């Protein structure tokens, strides 16, 4: 995770800045992003996959600084809305290095993508083909990929598995929908099919499903070669690389993933008599997740039955992941040194729901009390990007740390922001 160092009794520093200082200066809840860790993770990907195109999945977390860092580290972007696309462009990112996803792209998404010149559009449904071709116009040209469902079950939770039939993304190989859509794309002269895409799911900790995906995808490429004489230059295997949320949890081994995928791809292509396509990967969590830390202030501590509830000033509005996927976090007391024995507590949020639990069965010093600060590591991906406006508490700010300096990237959502949108009476 973010390169934390102990800095005095009970103190934890990230990027050379004490977390307690950030809480004092910017208030809580607050999200801290370790710039060096983000960049380090980008380089780890680039080193492990030197021949591949690495696209950062912007849905994990996006702000203009993040866009800038991805650009400087040589990554492309996977975006899935006009909003993500436009934010990236306003930060100076080249649209041709972006790929647009989405199972239900709106007219605005497609219009924006074409107007700004997005690199590739990933087709996810048959109806999108004609819509896109019409929007491109008879004399235009747009590169596309097709999102294929390879029929492989993988991913950390049922709600984030996307490699099998019976979920909303992509076009099935087994049912022939993928083959049918590809034939229709080939009939559209203004759409240039550059490759196939699949995304198996998220929080995958084993290499095996990726190898199975390579086999299935190359199998389809071989059939397309036979039927249409098609040789596709790209194969996008999506993201989903699992990370450890708590000490001792497994993460996907990227070096092993890279080595085995490369070997499997070379082998499968050789057997099929196809040239090896350029690999594209789309990590989101693997880049942003471990680089983020959420800081909360404890507001109350109370006992109820057997349980000790430690309530903090954020909750499911800034981190819906425990409620959605049953994810477990390991919060830490920071900002003071405690010699108390460790106790099992349930860290809950401030929202008006019993399900607003941030960390069930967390270990914290038994003397944890109101006013204390808690740090929740591995909070960089799918926290703020999925934050809601529930109870009008205002979304937390994002502070970047680097070389002993803290700087505000995204400010806290204020009451003026909230009231400003409320235009009726
Ligand atoms: N590519 C595509 C087409 C995707 O749909 C996703 C994630 C990614 C790449 C990046 O996946 P990653 O490497 O970050 O796992 N909200 C959930 C995760 C949903 C992911 C949706 N798509 C969570 O908090 O776990």
Please write the tens of the pLDDT for every residue from 151-160. Answer: 998 888 888 8
pTM, entire model: 0.97
User: What's the confidence (pLDDT) of residue 156?
Assistant: 80
Please write the tens of the pLDDT for every residue from 218-277. Answer: 999 999 999 999 999 999 999 999 999 999 999 999 999 999 999 999 999 999 999 999
Non-local (6+) Cβ contacts of 18 within 8 A are 7, 8, 11, 12
For ligand 1, atom 24: residue with the closest CA = 382
Ligand 1 atom having least distance to the Cα of 285 = 14
For ligand 1, atom 5: residue with the closest CA = 199
325 belongs to an annotated ligand binding site = yes
Ligand 1 atom having least distance to the Cα of 156 = 25
Kindly give the distance from the C-alpha atom of residue 271 to the centroid of ligand 1, in angstroms, as a whole number: 31
- Residue of 239, 384, 388 with the most ligand 1 atoms within 8 Å of its CB, for mutation: 239
User: What's the confidence (pLDDT) of residue 5?
Assistant: 80
Mean pLDDT confidence for 24-29: 98
Ligand 1 atom having least distance to the Cα of 238 = 1
Which amino acids are annotated catalytic?
A: 352
Say yes or no: ipTM exceeds 0.85.
yes
Predicted confidence (pLDDT) at residue 1 exceeds the cutoff of 80: no
382 belongs to an annotated ligand binding site = yes
User: What's the confidence (pLDDT) of residue 28?
Assistant: 98
Report residue 8's pLDDT band, with 50, 70 and 90 as the boundaries. confident
Ligand 1, pocket residues at CB < 6 Å: 57, 59-60, 78, 101, 160, 199, 202-203, 238-241, 282-286, 321, 325, 381-382, 386
Predicted confidence (pLDDT) at residue 92 exceeds the cutoff of 70: yes
Please write the tens of the pLDDT for every residue from 163-197. Answer: 998 889 999 999 999 999 999 999 999 999 999 99
Domains, the chain, in order of start with CATH, read: 4-32+289-421 (2.40.37.10), 35-287 (3.20.20.10)
């Amino acid at each position: 995770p973010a390169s934390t160092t102990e800095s005095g009794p009970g103190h934890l520093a990230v990027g050379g800045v004490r977390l307690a200082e950030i809480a004092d200066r910017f208030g809580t809840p607050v999200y801290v992003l370790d710039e060096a860790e983000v960049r380090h993770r980008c380089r780890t990907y680039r080193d492990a996959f030197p021949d591949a195109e690495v696209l950062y999945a912007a849905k994990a977390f996006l702000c203009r600084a993040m866009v800038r860092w991805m650009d400087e580290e040589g990554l492309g972007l996977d975006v899935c809305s006009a909003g993500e696309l436009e934010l990236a462009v306003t930060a100076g990112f080249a649209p041709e290095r972006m790929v647009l996803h989405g199972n239900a792209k709106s007219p605005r998404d497609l219009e924006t993508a074409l107007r700004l010149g997005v690199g590739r559009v990933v087709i996810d449904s048959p109806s999108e083909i004609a819509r896109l071709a019409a929007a491109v116009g008879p004399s235009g040209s747009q590169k596309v990929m097709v999102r294929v469902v390879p029929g492989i079950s993988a991913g950390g939770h049922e709600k984030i598995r996307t490699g099998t039939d019976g979920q909303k993304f992509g076009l099935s190989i087994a049912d022939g929908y993928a083959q049918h859509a590809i034939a229709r794309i080939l009939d559209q002269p203004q759409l240039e099919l550059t490759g196939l895409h699949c995304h198996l799911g998220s929080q995958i900790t084993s290499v095996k499903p990726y190898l199975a995906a390579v086999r299935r995808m190359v199998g389809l490429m071989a059939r397309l070669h036979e039927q249409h004489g098609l040789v596709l230059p790209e194969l996008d295997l999506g993201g989903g690389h699992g990370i450890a949320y708590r000490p001792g949890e497994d993460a996907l081994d990227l070096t092993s993933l890279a080595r085995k995928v490369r070997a499997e791809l070379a082998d499968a292509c050789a057997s099929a008599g196809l040239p090896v396509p350029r690999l594209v990967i789309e990590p989101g969590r693997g880049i942003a997740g471990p680089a983020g830390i959420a800081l909360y202030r404890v507001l109350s501590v109370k006992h109820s039955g057997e349980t000790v509830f430690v309530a903090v000033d954020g909750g499911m509005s800034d981190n819906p992941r425990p409620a959605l996927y049953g994810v477990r976090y390991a919060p830490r007391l920071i900002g003071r040194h405690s010699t108390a024995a460790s106790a099992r507590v349930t860290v809950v949020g401030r929202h008006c729901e019993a399900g607003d639990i941030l960390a069930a069965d967390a270990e914290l010093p038994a003397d944890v009390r109101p006013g204390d600060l808690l740090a929740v590591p591995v909070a960089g991906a799918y926290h703020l990007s999925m934050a809601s406006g529930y109870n009008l508490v205002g979304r937390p700010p994002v502070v970047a740390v680097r070389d002993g300096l803290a700087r505000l990237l995204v400010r806290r959502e204020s009451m003026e922001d909230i009231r400003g949108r409320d235009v009726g009476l």
